[in-house]
Amino acid sequence: MAPEIKYTKLFIDNKWVDAVSGKTFDTYNPHDGSVIATVAEGDEADINLAVAAAKRAFHRNSEWRLMDAAQRWAILDKFADLVQRDTQYLAELECYNNGMLLSSAILSLKYNVVENIRYLASLADKIQGDTIPLSGEVFAYTLKQPIGVCGLILPWNGPILLFIVKVVAALAAGCTVVVKPAEQTPLTALALAALLQEAGLPAGVVNVVNGFGVGAGTTLTHHPDVAKISFTGSLEVGKLIQQAAGANNLKRVTLELGGKSPLVIMDDADLNAAIPYAAYSIFSHQGQMCIAASRVYVQSGVYDKFVQGAVAMAKKRVIGNPTDPATEHGPQIDAEMFNKVLGYIEAGKKEGAKVLTGGKRVGNTGYYIEPTVFVDVTDDMKIAKEEIFGPVQCILKFDTLEEVIERCNNTNYGLAAGIFTSNLNTALQFSKHAEVGKVWINTYLMMGPQAPSGGWKDSSIGIENGLQAVDAFLEQKTVAINLPKKF
């Protein structure tokens, strides 16, 4: 049964309000394309109200600014308790609005989301400066202080986790925020806002304004009272955001963007592990992951055996309704992405790559695409260069480690890479030379709040998670005090 949709309005200043314009938009279930809710559509006027509320909440005498850091941690920890309490409901919402498998959403909430909240929350009272040995009769120290009002702009592919990663880090730092969720997935952000309110956040600290990129998003990125934009989404929009951030004031910017991550399978790899991992790394969440292993480079000695295994893995994935516990492969998010992925599959065929399995739509409703395996892929093909964001595994052949490092790095992206090998030296050489933000050895997709996460080149500016997670939301100040005598 579909989950009850409790929140469809905008959340501004701890109140649920309609859009000033009165406009709304529909949101859909990717399983069958049906409308599951109609949500308030915020635009310029609503963002202005939300930023004003966040600015009031950030005033130096506000309840939030005067609150002890340990109390901020306590409220966020309570929020973690509430997310834990509502795991089943939140997972169902994620499943219905995003197409994420219900089983994956439950696991993610239980083991990933709650852990993320608790870890990031715990950083609130660990924000410390330095004492500085300035020359002369002086004592100097640094203060790290919250930046101010932050605009957090989210993509649709991991609505709950990505909300948590940005919002909790910003709040742990002491900032106030205006969140603009993706237009495809407005529902879980509202449910999380309700839990933050229940946890005891003062009014205006968190505001959620659903709406579209042009309108709500652009107003936020141009707003002179917003000090920082933290954005996760496509490279194309990331570039626009960086420009907008410098248009009216000099906003600090964090960008977490796309990828075209390589996974290397060496001749000495344990194929019993490498083949299932390669499948898991591209087909999980139907390939809708920034870190998806979308280029698989296989050394010539094991190429045929690997390809045979890869095809078998793709074929046996159970496709179906994401609410069904037996399902392993659900729908793409919407018609636009569905058509885009099918377009890439056609482009791959036209350029001479060969589909060994998949390549087609499944059924006539919803946005299902078969897990697809391409061979005979060359580096210059569109499917080897561009982010597909779908269940399309591209397999490429190579001969030497030198060659594969060169080919892996021959991209403007630099998010992640992986290697399967039994030779430690090979693994270390590869991890040293891969131009990416994270490398996995004999594994893939292993992440957690404790590990810093970012990317190189066009994949990212800034770091999320890890001990530095709050730094992205802090300014630093040096204070020097004149002393009668140096001590």
Kindly state the smallest distance separating residue 155's Cβ from ligand NAD, in Å.
3
Out of 106, 257, 263, 463, the only residue in the binding site for ligand NAD (CB under 6 A) is 257
Out of 30, 217, 331, 418, the only residue in the binding site for ligand NAD (CB under 6 A) is 217
Kindly state the smallest distance separating residue 244's Cβ from ligand NAD, in Å.
6
Half-sphere exposure of 472 (CA within 13 A, CB side): 31
Residues touching ligand NAD: how many (CB under 6 A)? 31
- Binding to ligand NAD (CB under 6 A): which residues in 410-429? 415
Of the listed pieces 19-27, 69-77, 257-265, 443-451, which binds ligand NAD according to CB under 6 A? 257-265
The DSSP 8-state label assigned to residue 178 in this structure reads E
3-class secondary structure for 399-421?
Answer: CCHHHHHHHHHCCCCCCEEEEEC
Burial of 78 (0-12, 13-18, 19+ CB in 10 A): middle
116 binds ligand NAD (CB under 6 A): no
Kindly state the smallest distance separating residue 43's Cβ from ligand NAD, in Å.
12
Q: Is the Cβ–Cβ distance between 294 and 287 less than 8 Å?
A: yes
Token pair of 279, please? Answer: 């499948």
Q: Kind of pairing, strands 261-265 and 15-17?
A: unpaired
Angle at CA of residue 271, ends 265 and 277, nearest 5°: 75
Half-sphere exposure of 67 (CA within 13 A, CB side): 28
**Phi/psi of residue 258, nearest 5 degrees:** -80, -175
Token pair of 128, please? Answer: 């410390």
Distance CA 428, CA 408 (A): 15
The DSSP 8-state label assigned to residue 201 in this structure reads P
Residue with Cβ nearer ligand NAD (156 or 430): 156
Token pair of 301, please? Answer: 């000695």
* Helix/strand/coil for 185: coil
Catalytic residue among 41, 94, 183, 256: 256
Of the listed pieces 57-65, 147-155, 371-379, 423-431, which binds ligand NAD according to CB under 6 A? 147-155
Out of 33, 129, 213, 462, the only residue in the binding site for ligand NAD (CB under 6 A) is 213
456 binds ligand NAD (CB under 6 A): no
Of the listed pieces 109-117, 232-240, 320-328, 338-346, which binds ligand NAD according to CB under 6 A? 232-240
Out of 256, 328, 334, 370, the only residue in the binding site for ligand NAD (CB under 6 A) is 256
Q: Is 256 a catalytic residue?
A: yes
Amino acid letter, 34 = S
Q: DSSP secondary structure string, 293-359?
A: EEEEEEEGGGHHHHHHHHHHHHHT--B--TTSTT-SB---SSHHHHHHHHHHHHHHHHTT-EEEE--
Out of 67, 82, 140, 240, the only residue in the binding site for ligand NAD (CB under 6 A) is 240
The residue at minimum Cβ distance from ligand NAD is 213
Kindly state the smallest distance separating residue 108's Cβ from ligand NAD, in Å.
13
Out of 16, 25, 139, 212, the only residue in the binding site for ligand NAD (CB under 6 A) is 212
156 binds ligand NAD (CB under 6 A): yes
154 binds ligand NAD (CB under 6 A): yes
214 binds ligand NAD (CB under 6 A): yes
Residue with Cβ nearer ligand NAD (101 or 209): 209
Of the listed pieces 128-136, 255-263, 313-321, 399-407, which binds ligand NAD according to CB under 6 A? 255-263
**Phi/psi of residue 192, nearest 5 degrees:** -70, -35
Kindly state the smallest distance separating residue 386's Cβ from ligand NAD, in Å.
10
232 binds ligand NAD (CB under 6 A): yes
387 binds ligand NAD (CB under 6 A): yes
Distance CA 167, CA 186 (A): 15
Angle at CA of residue 399, ends 398 and 400, nearest 5°: 110
Considering Cα of 192, then 193, then 194, then 197, what sign does the dihedral take? positive
Distance (Å) of CA 58 to CA 44, 65, 164, 220, 413: 21, 6, 20, 17, 36
Out of 12, 36, 50, 153, the only residue in the binding site for ligand NAD (CB under 6 A) is 153
97 binds ligand NAD (CB under 6 A): no
Kindly state the smallest distance separating residue 220's Cβ from ligand NAD, in Å.
7
- Binding to ligand NAD (CB under 6 A): which residues in 273-292? 290
Q: Kind of pairing, strands 372-375 and 354-357?
A: antiparallel
Distance CA 258, CA 390 (A): 13
Residue with Cβ nearer ligand NAD (303 or 444): 444
155 binds ligand NAD (CB under 6 A): yes
Q: Is the Cβ–Cβ distance between 5 and 187 less than 8 Å?
A: yes
Kindly state the smallest distance separating residue 137's Cβ from ligand NAD, in Å.
48
Residue with Cβ nearer ligand NAD (72 or 285): 285
From residue 158 to residue 197, the character string flagging contacts with ligand NAD as x (rule: CB under 6 A) and all else as - is x---------------------x-xx--------------
Residue 477: other Cβ atoms inside 10 A: 11
Beta bridge partners, 151, equal 178, 229
Task: Give contact residues for ligand NAD (rule: CB under 6 A).
Answer: 153-158, 180, 182-183, 212-214, 217-218, 221, 232-234, 237, 240-241, 256-259, 290, 387, 389, 415, 455, 460
* Catalytic residue annotation: 256
